[in-house]
Chain A
């Protein structure tokens, strides 16, 4: 399944002082994939578009903090 979050596993040394973060995540936002925007792409209703920060569904890519997701968050 397509996602705008990509993962990799950094090298872990037995001599690293902090507990290791085993999987790191980074963002590849939708603008990297769409190319020149084709006409007539689906839109959000106006109120929803304001709340989401874009009129175009294809570009919507929300980001949450660890405090909001109750896990380790969204980025890393």
Chain B
């Protein structure tokens, strides 16, 4: 039976943490469009999440669909686990 290693959960959580800050900053900027510092922080984190996504996908397969992530051979998008299963 396939089980995810400890590192999977750690890397996932690191990505979740950065993405969560991006969600928070998005909502903040929706009502504060002229906050230059917040936009800088947003862009820095957006860059960081790109790297984290790349690392995560190299180890555990594609995160996004419809061409926003690359596929291995054979097609590994629908490999378990799904988010609600882990």
Direct contact between A and B in the complex (CB less than 8 angstroms)?
A: yes
Residues of A within 8 A of B (CB): 36-37, 39-40, 46-47, 49-50, 54-56
Known: A46-B18, A49-B17. A39 touches B32 (CB 8 A): yes
Known: A39-B38, A47-B13, A50-B13. A55 touches B32 (CB 8 A): no
Question: Is B21's CB under 8 angstroms from A46's CB?
Answer: yes
Secondary structure of the B side of the interface?
helix
Say if the beta carbon of B9 comes within 8 Å of chain A.
Answer: no
Secondary structure of the A side of the interface?
loop
Question: Is A50's CB under 8 angstroms from B38's CB?
Answer: no
Q: Which residue of B lies closest to A56 (CB)?
A: B24
Question: Is A46's CB under 8 angstroms from B32's CB?
Answer: no
